[in-house]
Amino acid sequence: MLRRMHSLPAQYRPASHLKEATLHLPLSAAGAMTAASAMVLVANPVWGTAGVLLFGFGTVRLERQRRVLGDDEIRARISPFRQLRRGDVDGFAWLLRVLAEIDGRSPRARRNARIALETIAAEDRLMRSLIFHCRRNDVSVEVFRDRLRRFGTGTLAATLASLHPDGRVRVAAVAAMGRRLRPVHLPFLVERTVDWAPQVRTPAQRVLRRQLRRRPALLPQVRAAYARVARRRHAPVVAQLIGGR
């Protein structure tokens, strides 16, 4: 994972808020007390059971709270970029650097990456502009190409690698998204279904067709994503794919 960037411009720094790290100590203490109570069970089943239930419940609550704070922290890191407008190339470059820092292979990092991507996808203008500048090669997604090859690639790496200028990378990204397609992938997958290269758009269309057959509930989101590419040269094929459903 990339080192945290202290040079991030002030306008892109998140507002100060309670971080999940503040719960590490009480969470560790509750876990230790739960383990200690479990050891007491043999000598004193009543007190041991009471301790396990009490401290175990506290541990679960603290862990849930830690996850919520962690998710909020990631959303806060993306939030300053909501102000970006198309044409602000430097701003989108900084956004990609932040996303590269968030991305990782650990379960927590993978969750963080998914939350970050969902936060971007919820802002239609931000997502459109990010795709636009990546298509024009104004900003680099090279780091995500490199991560696409490694074991444990998560949602974010595959999604952003699908915007790489090299068609071979885009094909690999489509395959990675197809292995475990999430709704947040759909705008990027649909983007590839109208790719200029047939070696890319044909596999993307195949993945989309297969996923719609298995998960028809995705159709409204696919149609919303299609509206963004409806005027592209190869869009009619995709229109036929979703039009009869």
Amino acid 1: pLDDT: 37
Amino acid 199: pLDDT: 97
The reply to whether 44 falls in a domain is: yes
The reply to whether 35 falls in a domain is: yes
In the numeric block, which tokens belong to residue 65?
Answer: 């709270």
Amino acid 245: pLDDT: 47
Amino acid 125: pLDDT: 93
Amino acid 55: pLDDT: 62
The boundaries of the domain holding residue 56 are 20-81
Are 25 and 71 in contact by the 8 Å Cβ rule? The answer is: no
Mean pLDDT by 10 residues, the chain (245 residues): 62 69 59 71 73 65 66 90 93 95 87 92 93 94 88 82 96 93 93 96 96 94 93 93 72
The C-alpha atoms of residue 216 and residue 212 are separated, in whole angstroms, by 5
Q: Tell me the Ramachandran region of residue 150: left when phi exceeds 0, alpha when psi lies from -120 to 50, beta otherwise.
A: beta
Rg (Cα) of the chain, in Å, rounded? 22
Amino acid 63: pLDDT: 63
The reply to whether 50 falls in a domain is: yes
Sign of torsion over alpha carbons 4, 6, 11, 13: positive
The C-alpha atoms of residue 74 and residue 183 are separated, in whole angstroms, by 19
The reply to whether 231 falls in a domain is: no
The reply to whether 66 falls in a domain is: yes
Amino acid 3: pLDDT: 44
Sign of torsion over alpha carbons 5, 70, 147, 127: negative
The reply to whether 74 falls in a domain is: yes
The reply to whether 150 falls in a domain is: no
Structurally, the chain folds into a number of domains equal to 1
SS (H, E, C) 183-236: HHHHHHHHHHHCCCCHHHHHHHHHHHHHHHHHCHHHHHHHHHHHHCCCCCCCHH
In the numeric block, which tokens belong to residue 64?
Answer: 């849930």
Amino acid 71: pLDDT: 85
The reply to whether 237 falls in a domain is: no
